[in-house]
Each structure stands twice: as C-alpha cells, then as structure tokens.
Amino acid sequence: MSNMEVSKQLFNDRIKYLFEATSYAKPIIEHGSGSFVWDVDGNKYLDVNSGQFCMSFGHGYVPFIECITKQMNKIYHTNTATLSPEVFEAAEKMAATTDYKLSKTMFLSTGSEANEAAFRYAKYITGKTGIMGLDHGYHGLTLAAQGNTMGGLWARPYVPDAVSVKTPDYLHSDKNKTQEEFYAECFKDLKEKFNEYGNNLAAFILEPVIGVGGMISLSMEYLKEIRKFCDKYGVLLIFDECQCGFGRSGKWYAYQKANVVPDILVTAKTMGMGLPVSAVTFSEETAKKIEGKLVHFSSHQNDPLAAAIVSFVIDEIKNNNLLESNREKGLYLKDALEMACKESDTLINARGDGLMCAFDIDDTIVTDYRNFSKKFIKEMEHNGVLIQAIRQGRTFRVMPNYYITESEIDFLQQAIIKSISQVVKI
Ligand SMILES: Cc1ncc(COP(=O)(O)O)c(C=O)c1O
C-alpha cells in the first residue's frame, strides 16, 4: 500500500490556487528516471503512459538533457522569419523519415496547433472550407481541431464545416454484426459523405491508428479507399500521427504499413521528448501551392530548440534500431497483455501496433465501467503502475517509452493481474 501523506496535504491545503481543469490523479510526481516516476511521498510507479505519451526514451534521459543544454547555451528561440542551422538539419531528417515522399516541414509547438495549421493550409490551397474526419478521431482541443475531434461532440461554438464519418471500429461495434457487415456499413457511410460533401471539402483528416478514440488500427483497404475519394474530389489527405508516429508503431509512421501517402503529415508528442514540439510536413506538390504565403504564423515556429530536439529523436531512433526493437517489444507487450486478460473474465481485446497497445473492460459484463475503471486505476497505482483510461473507462492505453524492458513489462502484467482481482473482490 502506498504512502500518500504529502500528496494528500498538497491537495487539501493548496489546490485552491490551482485551476482544476480535470480531477487530477492523486500521486503528485516529484521526479522520474527511465520508465519510472516517484511521487512526493517516495512511492515509485512504472509510467506506462510515458508522460502524456511523449517521453520516447523515458524520464531524465541524460543524452537528451545534454542535447538541449548544449542548444540552450547556443540559441533556443529566434523570430518567426529567421532560421537557424538546426532547422535546416531537422527538416532534412524529417523528409528522410518519409522516404522523401513528404519533403517540406514547418516546426510548431503542440499537436493541436499543427492540425490547425494543416487545416488552414488545406483551406487556402483548395479554396474550400469543409474538413471531414472520423467520428472517433482525436485531433486536439483548439477550436477547428476540436470540431473534428470525437465527432465535434464538445466543440462550442459549433464548427459548421466539420463533418464526420463512421469509424471502422469493429472491436467496439454492434456485437450482432459480422465484421464484413460492419466494414460494409463504414465504406457505405464514407461513400455517401463524400458524395454529399466532397465538393466542399478542403481536407480529410485521420489517425492511421486511432488513439484516444479507442486504439484502433485502420485497415489498409480503408486508407486506400479514402485516398481514392480524396483524389476524386480534390480533397487533401491529412494523416495525424501525433500519437502513432515517430516510431511508436514500429515504422516511422503507421501509414507506411499501407501503400498510401498523405498530402500533409502532422506529428507531435514523442518527437518532442516531453517538450512542446510538433510539425506539419507537406508533399512537394502541396507545398508548392502555398510556400511564401503568410497563412500560418506562430511565436514558436521553427524554434532552434525544437529543431535540435527533432534531430536528436530521429538520430536516437535510427542509431539504436528502435523501429525494429519497438516492433519486437510490442509483440512481447501484446503477449503480456493477452496473458493478463486471460487471467480475468472482465478484461478483453489485448491489441497493439508496436508500442501502442491497449486492452478493454468487457462492458457486456461490467456495465458500470466508469466506476470500475476508476477503481482499477487506483489499484494499479497501489501496485506501482500509472495507467489511464479512455472511452469513458472502457479502454486502457499502454504506450511506454521505447526503452522499456521485458522485466518492466512483466511487472506491468503482474500488476494488472493483481489489480483486477482486487477490483473484482471490492
Ligand atoms: C492524434 C492526436 N492529434 C492531436 C493531438 C493534440 O495534441 P496536443 O495535445 O499536443 O495539442 C493529440 C493529443 O493527444 C492526439 O493524440
């Protein structure tokens, strides 16, 4: 059982000065190293979220700290119209990760900002205003991004030009339908929506592996079908790889598993190693139509520090064969999750693409899954693991840092088995 004295005291006495944007988790984190973090009470936790899925190489990674310290001592911010050598270098490295199919990058700060920029450029290029995405897609919470996040459900004011189509999410779909029936419905919806809105659409945005919306790998056929529709209606295709990109899936980008190339690629999270770094990368042809036009501008555009970080992350992945190792470790992790699920009647659907794994609560058995998952997360904390839920508590994401070890994965597996048996008893 973990000690929580200092955490409790901070929550009781000092939370009044902090805006409570969410109901914050109780351990207050003081420091981290590798796959672990420690709270102010001295408890140690395996961080399978790797921060907010950003700490590609783990906490307190010394070579990274050295890299940013070196850059900070040189220069870390310039004005928006000025470049530094680091920016040229990082942009070239970005192009190489796409096999030079997408070759023009601008660096920004957050994933939401990069999606906003991508939308703005798409609207400018096509002269159209609509953006279509999947109803389970997550693209951030700035206004236009939110209009295309989870079907625009919480976008206020309503974003009029956002359209969503049914996500091919067989795992979480109507259990009475066969997989073929379900996919047929999704393809039908896609076709109908393109017929109806295609001529008004500037872009179609999707995550090749849907993260927040359920940890769903989209089929290659589906990606190919969307590419065809985009070409037919003159719609730019944006792949949002903020979560699944930068090696997490075992490829530089998850879309590289299908022979489909987007017009615009958006990346963030792991590329910044915990600092706010994102990018929009255009195909040469797309970039030609907008270069030199003042369409998107930001105080943190092409910062030398961001560029140095991107180069560092790319080099680290390349030099240490992390794409291959993420694929291998991903299989080990998926197996471990499958075994843990087998130990309980209430956990199902262990799945994953590289180090982007998940499992679900069986909501046909556990109907009060919101409370159940809160208890499970708490038990996991007591058993030394930090984990988060999505889909109102029905799905748990496991997206650790790339240097997680097999013994740490074993520890996670045992914590799941122990925690679920404790929750079932409560
Ligand atoms: C796929 C995807 N796109 C965009 C975003 C938004 O990124 P940020 O929170 O950095 O704005 C996220 C964040 O979770 C994401 O998962």
At 206-257, the pLDDT tens digits run: 999 999 999 999 999 999 999 999 999 999 999 999 999 999 999 999 999 9
Residues 289 and 364 in one domain: no
Cβ neighbour number for residue 219 with a 10 Å cutoff: 14
Q: Is the dihedral of CA 288, 294, 299, 304 positive or negative?
A: positive
Does pLDDT of 176 surpass 90?
Answer: no
Determine the Cα–Cα distance for residues 43 and 308; give it in Å rounded to an integer: 34
Does pLDDT of 46 surpass 70?
Answer: yes
State the chain's mean pLDDT as an integer. Answer: 95
Choose among 169, 239, 168: nearest CA to 203: 239
Helix (H) or strand (E) holding 322: helix 322-342
Residues 53 and 131 in one domain: no
Q: Are 226 and 134 in contact (CB under 8 A)?
A: no
Choose among 266, 314, 355: nearest CA to 97: 314
Instruction: Decide: pTM greater than 0.85.
Output: yes
Q: How confident is the model at residue 158 (pLDDT cuts 50, 70, 90)?
A: confident
What are the contacts of 334-339 at 24+ separation with CB within 8 A? 336/409, 336/410, 336/412, 336/413, 337/398, 337/413, 337/416, 339/413
Residues 25 and 134 in one domain: no
Residues 88 and 163 in one domain: yes
The pLDDT, as a whole number, for residue 1 is 52
Instruction: Please indicate whether residue 240, judged by its CB atom, sits closer than 6 Å to ligand 1.
Output: yes
Residues 289 and 397 in one domain: no
Residues 256 and 159 in one domain: yes
Residues 97 and 41 in one domain: no
Residues 223 and 275 in one domain: yes
Q: How confident is the model at residue 3 (pLDDT cuts 50, 70, 90)?
A: confident
The pLDDT, as a whole number, for residue 369 is 96
Residues 351 and 328 in one domain: yes
Rounded average pLDDT over 95-99: 98
Rounded average pLDDT over 1-18: 85
The pLDDT, as a whole number, for residue 261 is 97
CATH code, domain carrying 16: 3.90.1150.10
CA of 178 to the centre of ligand 1 (A): 32
What letter represents residue 286's amino acid?
T
- Tens of pLDDT along 22-38? 888 889 999 999 999 99
Q: Which atom of ligand 1 is nearest to the CA of 113?
A: 11
Count of structural domains, the chain: 2
Parent domain of 371: 5-61+323-425
- Tens of pLDDT along 373-420? 999 999 999 999 999 999 999 999 999 999 999 999 999 999 999 999
Q: Which atom of ligand 1 is nearest to the CA of 142?
A: 11
Does pLDDT of 157 surpass 80?
Answer: no
Residues 45 and 72 in one domain: no
Last residue of a domain, one of 296, 319, 342: 319
What percent of the chain stands above pLDDT 70? Answer: 100
Q: How confident is the model at residue 170 (pLDDT cuts 50, 70, 90)?
A: confident
Q: Which atom of ligand 1 is nearest to the CA of 211?
A: 16
- Tens of pLDDT along 291-336? 988 888 899 999 999 999 999 999 999 999 999 999 999 999 999 9
Task: Give, in degrees to the nearest 5, the angle at Cα 309 between 307 and 310.
Answer: 65
Task: Give, in degrees to the nearest 5, the angle at Cα 190 between 186 and 196.
Answer: 140
Residues 80 and 131 in one domain: yes
Residues 332 and 408 in one domain: yes
Instruction: Please indicate whether residue 280, judged by its CB atom, sits closer than 6 Å to ligand 1.
Output: no
Choose among 18, 43, 16, 13: nearest CA to 28: 43
Rounded average pLDDT over 65-70: 98
The pLDDT, as a whole number, for residue 223 is 96
Q: Are 236 and 203 in contact (CB under 8 A)?
A: yes
CA of 198 to the centre of ligand 1 (A): 26
What is the chain's Cα-based Rg? 22
Instruction: Please indicate whether residue 112, judged by its CB atom, sits closer than 6 Å to ligand 1.
Output: yes
Determine the Cα–Cα distance for residues 164 and 286; give it in Å rounded to an integer: 24
CATH code, domain carrying 85: 3.40.640.10
Last residue of a domain, one of 302, 319, 336: 319
Instruction: Please indicate whether residue 208, judged by its CB atom, sits closer than 6 Å to ligand 1.
Output: no
Burial 41-67 (b: 16+ CB within 10 A, else e): bebebbbbbbbebbbbbbbebeebeeb
Q: How confident is the model at residue 159 (pLDDT cuts 50, 70, 90)?
A: confident
Determine the Cα–Cα distance for residues 108 and 80; give it in Å rounded to an integer: 11
Last residue of a domain, one of 319, 348, 368: 319
Burial 367-401 (b: 16+ CB within 10 A, else e): eebeebbebbbbbbbebbbbbbbbbebbbbbbbbb
